[in-house]
Amino acid sequence: METTALQTFTSPVVLFFVLGLLAAFARSDLAIPEAIAKGMSLYLMAAIGMKGGVAVSKSGIDGTVLTALGLGIAASFLMPFLAYALLKGFAKLDRLNAGAVAAHYGSVSVVTFVTAVEILEIQGKPPGGYMVAVMAAMETPAILTGLLLARGMGSGSSSQSTGEMLHEVFFNSSVVLLLGAFAIGIISGAQGFAEVSPFFQAGFKGVLCIFLLDMGLIAARRIMDARAVTWRMATIAIALPLINGVIGTSAAVALGLDVGSAAALGVLCASASYIAVPAAMRLALPEADPGIYLTMSLSITFPFNILINIGLISALATALSGQGAVTP
């Protein structure tokens, strides 16, 4: 654990995130142009999608893959209920905002996942390539649960905007790009990937550094501006990744996933969306306050996961796998 935590904090990826946080807290004017930040996020999704697809084109799809997919989808559907209960009960949020926030915690953060993969690989526990598909599958179910919670069953929402929203949910740009690149990875395989790997593979960690620098800047600036977030909400933004991480990792180990994949699934459960879900919420629940859901997921949960929780989940996965198996 010691080495783990230390390795985390000597990785340039994490250090650039810390630099972003510090620069924003010092009120430096350092800023990445929005077009560049958007371009980097598309690059990261295309690259991670392709790499996952190439991995699956080698390993094939077996029972473990289907188990992990099923577990991920179920988690995404169900996690918002717990989040909703805490948000209404403890943080006193109204139904609308509680449902919107819950959707974020059921869904996933691509960058948290990617950072976890980097860290797990350094620790010698690389997750399976199929985990990318699991991640893509976990993006949307939580949105449906969150809307259900926010609006109630017999909601009077116009069917037009529901259709628009469902379309947004299933064809939003991150889902399309992740799954599209995943399919391209499967079709073109290792040979096709070789042609483009200098771009998608060799450049990956460097781009991730600059992207995390930007995320650090944005997360810190947002929390300095935050008005709507109370200490109760902040507490939940720390508690949920801990709880969801433990549940996800334990279930994954219990169902037989390898250490790395179990940790990755735990991280997915622990992470909160701040790209796909906010976009869907703005359309489907425009009355909900982005100042609450973005600040919680991006400014509290995201740094907590990157800096602390990935390390904890990785250690937990190792411990649990060690108990269940003879070989460490």
Partner 1 sequence: MIETVTRKRIEILTDTALVKRVTSAIDSAGITGWTITPVSSGKGRDGHWREERVMGTDKVFVLTIASEEKADALAEKIAPLLSSHGFLLSMWDVQVIRGERF
In this chain, which stretch among 153-161, 188-196, 263-271, 304-312 interacts with Na ion, using CB under 5 A? Answer: 263-271
Q: Which is nearer to a second copy, 169 or 320 (CB)?
A: 169
Residues in contact with partner 1 by CB under 8 A are 33-35, 37-38, 41, 164, 214, 218, 221, 225-228, 274-275, 278-279, 282-283, 286-287, 289-291, 294, 298
Q: Which of 134, 139, 141, 121 is nearest to 182 (CA)?
A: 134
Pick what 205 binds: partner 1, a second copy, Na ion, none; C-beta below 5 to 8 Å, kind-dependent.
Answer: a second copy
Does 58 interact with a second copy (rule: CB under 8 A)?
no
Helix 159-171 / helix 276-284 crossing angle, nearest 10 deg? 170
Q: What is the largest CA-CA distance in the chain?
A: 57
| Closest to a second copy by CB, 92 or 205 | 205
Quote the least distance from Cβ 28 to a second copy, whole Å. Answer: 4
The single-letter DSSP state of residue 127 is P
Question: If DSSP codes are grouped into helix, strand and coil, which group holds residue 251?
Answer: helix
For residues 12 and 290, which CB has a smaller minimum distance to a second copy in the complex?
A: 12
Q: Which is nearer to a second copy, 195 or 225 (CB)?
A: 195
CB 282 within 8 A of CB 148: no
**C-beta of residue 208 within 8 angstroms of C-beta of residue 114:** yes
The Cα-based distances of 122 to 16, 269, 314 in angstroms read 17, 21, 12
**DSSP-H helix ranges across the chain:** 2-10, 12-25, 34-59, 63-89, 95-106, 110-122, 131-138, 141-151, 159-171, 173-197, 204-225, 231-254, 259-270, 276-284, 290-294, 302-304, 310-324
Query: What residues between 204 and 223 interact with a second copy by CB under 8 A?
Result: 204-207, 209-210, 213
The entry of a second copy, Na ion, partner 1, none near residue 171 (CB within 5 to 8 angstroms by kind) is: a second copy
Give the interface with Na ion as residue ranges (CB under 5 A).
271
Interface residues with a second copy (CB under 8 A) are 9-13, 15-16, 19, 22-23, 26-36, 38-39, 42-43, 46, 50, 167-168, 171-173, 176-177, 180-181, 183-184, 187-189, 192-193, 195-196, 198-200, 202-207, 209-210, 213, 279
